[in-house]
C-alpha cells in the first residue's frame, strides 16, 4: 500500500524566511512524487514533479529514497506563496496519485 504523510497542518513564516514543507512516503517500489498547490479560490494544480528535477517559482524538491522523503523547499518565501500544498505519490506504472492531507503555508509580510 502507498501512503503519503505531511506532518504539519500549518506552517507560518515571515516574508524572506526559508521554507521547508515536509513530505514522507511509504511505498515498496520506485515511486513518482509530486507537489500540488492550491491558491485561494483557485483549483488544485501541479507545482513540480521529482522526475523533472526542476525549480518552479523558486521551489525545489529532492527525492531522498533512504529517508523516504520529498520535502519542498524555498530559500526566501514570498507572500504570494501562501497556499495549501499537497504532496502526492504514484506507484510505478500506476496513473493514480495518492495525496497527503496537505500543509497550509502562510507567509506574513
Pairing assessment for the beta strands 10-14 and 103-108 based on DSSP bridges = parallel
DSSP 80: G
Minimum CB separation of residue 79 from another protein in Å reads 24
- 53 touches another protein by CB under 8 A: no
- 56 touches another protein by CB under 8 A: no
- Rounded to whole angstroms, the Cα distance separating 38 from 74 reads 17
| Residues whose CB is less than 8 angstroms from the CB of residue 7 and which lie 6 or more positions away in sequence, other chains included | 22, 24
For another protein, the binding residue among 15, 39, 46, 55 (CB under 8 A) is 46
- Rounded to whole angstroms, the Cα distance separating 68 from 64 reads 6
- 44 touches another protein by CB under 8 A: yes
**Closest CB to another protein among 65 and 101?**
101
Binding site for another protein (CB under 8 A): 4, 6, 9, 32, 34, 36, 43-46, 49, 51-52, 86, 88, 90, 95-102
Amino acid at each position: 500500500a502507498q501512503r503519503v504523510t505531511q506532518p504539519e497542518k500549518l506552517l507560518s513564516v515571515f516574508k524572506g524566511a526559508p521554507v521547508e514543507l515536509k513530505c514522507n512516503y511509504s511505498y515498496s517500489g520506485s515511486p513518482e512524487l509530486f507537489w500540488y498547490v492550491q491558491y485561494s479560490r483557485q483549483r488544485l494544480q501541479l507545482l513540480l514533479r521529482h522526475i523533472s528535477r526542476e525549480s518552479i517559482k523558486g521551489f525545489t524538491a529532492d527525492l531522498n529514497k533512504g529517508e523516504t522523503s520529498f520535502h519542498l523547499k524555498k530559500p526566501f518565501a514570498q507572500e504570494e506563496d501562501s497556499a495549501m500544498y499537497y504532496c502526492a505519490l504514484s506507484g510505478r506504472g500506476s496513473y493514480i496519485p495518492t495525496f497527503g492531507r496537505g500543509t497550509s503555508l502562510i507567509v506574513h509580510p
